[in-house]
Amino acid sequence: MPQNTDQPDIMQTLTVNLGDRSYPIHIGPGLLDRADLILPHLAQKRVFIVTNTTVGPLYLDRLSRTLADAGVRITSVVLPDGEAYKNLETLNLIFDALLTDRAERKTTLVALGGGVIGDITGFAAASYQRGVPFIQVPTTLLSQVDSSVGGKTGVNHPLGKNMIGAFWQPQLVLADTDSLNTLPDRELSAGMAEIIKYGLITDAGFFGWLEANIARLMTRDTAALTEAIYRSCDNKARVVAADEREAGLRALLNLGHTFGHAIEAGMGYGNWLHGEAVAAGTMLACDLSCRMGLFTRADCDRAAALFKAANLPTVAPALDAAEYLRHMGEDKKVEGGKLRFVLLRAIGEAFVSESPADLLQQTLTEAVA
């Protein structure tokens, strides 16, 4: 079978340990050509590849050829591109295709694209006939380090983001670093926001590595990207393995996300990229941590410097504080009506806490643009 093995030694593999739902993540160049990595995970030589109008023209033929040459029958479903289409109506287009072409219970859904494609295809896989296998082939940096790990799938509702979905684990994740070569600069940066986040949450060593290697990463050095994706997935996988259904520890992954979701909602979804909102949101969390006497301004500055080196915004937009609070109230992390935040007590040491209302108010008025 065809293999692009000009850089085989660069591929890294890690396993997400979830008992009988454990799965491997392969990271490196040329993986779209590696039928040998995919075939062992197909229960049936039949797949539906779900992609979008942006990624499809770039990579659908290549992945299809890899699978077809290995005797796999393929139906492809090309969805419109964008977060605006991450909804029940678009989900139903996948169901239409699955039923029209008679997907069975052992048929595998393959998500070829970024986070939206992964989330919506994963939810289709979780729900079609109450659950069929799926494989993630994330093609953006953000989806390679974030949405492809952890089993969160779903769609948006007009009244809230990611409000409808399921926890559903893939059989396999193939993160082909070659696909990052066609990624717009702004999206590369947005992915870097999540990578930096892992360092801040639990891995000061990785944060230091990122400070030393950010220039190589921004020039898309394959080996550096492979290492950064591996270490990000490894960080996330360990958190997810310890807390699959988001009861506790997993909440740490939401560093910057409560503020970030408010920024995205307040500015209108799509105007700020998710990663950009997470970067600015993380700086708000850093600021709030400082005001609570937990975190130093010097560490705040280190975080800001790394985000800036990744061409990310470090100052949140000056929405009205009340608007921030309103958007944060819609967030899934509300429990018993109280707002809880992921805060920092050092680089690499995140924790969850409620926050005094007055300090939160200060952050929302003084730390914004």
Q: Which residues bind its own copies (CB under 8 A)?
A: 44, 88, 91-92, 95-96, 99-100, 102, 104-106, 126-131, 152-154, 157, 159-160, 163-167, 245-246, 329-330, 332, 334-336
Sign of the dihedral defined by the CA atoms of residues 42, 46, 48, 54, in that order: positive
Residue of 26, 34, 86, 261 marked active site: 261
Q: How far is the CB of 126 from its own copies (least distance, A)?
A: 7
Which among 152, 350, 188 has a CA at the least distance from the CA of 275?
A: 188
**Distance of alpha carbon 149 from alpha carbon 174, whole angstroms:** 11
Task: Give the nearer residue to its own copies in terms of CB position, either 166 or 241.
Answer: 166
254 tagged catalytic: yes
Q: Which residues contact 97 (CB under 8 A, 6 or more apart)?
A: 48, 75, 77
- Min separation Cβ 206 and its own copies, Å: 28
SS3 139: coil
**Which of residues 92 and 365 has its CB atom nearest to its own copies in the complex?**
92
Is 250 an active-site residue? yes
Rounded Cα distance, 351 and 301, in Å:
20
Q: Which of 246, 264, 276, 327 is catalytic?
A: 246
Question: Of residues 102, 130, 245, 338, which has the active-site annotation?
Answer: 130
Which candidate, 176, 94, 102, 163, places its Cα nearest to that of 127? Answer: 94
Instruction: Give, in degrees to the nearest 5, the angle at Cα 175 between 123 and 114.
Output: 45
CB of 129 to its own copies, least distance (A): 5
Query: How long a stretch of residues is the chain?
Result: 369
Which of the following is catalytic: 34, 86, 231, 257?
257
Question: Is 194 noted as a catalytic residue in this protein?
Answer: yes
Give bridge partners of residue 73 from the DSSP assignment: 46
| Nearest distance in Å: CB 76, its own copies | 19
Measured from the CB atom, the residue of 107 and 226 that comes closer to its own copies is 107
130 is catalytic: yes
Q: Distance (Å, rounded) from C-alpha 8 to C-alpha 26?
A: 12
Closest distance between its own copies and the C-beta of residue 118, in Å? 15
Between residues 102 and 219, which has the closer beta carbon with respect to its own copies? 102
Cβ atoms 276, 312 nearer than 8 A: yes
Q: Of these residues, 254, 264, 276, 327, which one is catalytic? A: 254
**What positions carry a catalytic annotation?**
130, 152, 194, 236, 246, 250, 254, 257, 261, 274
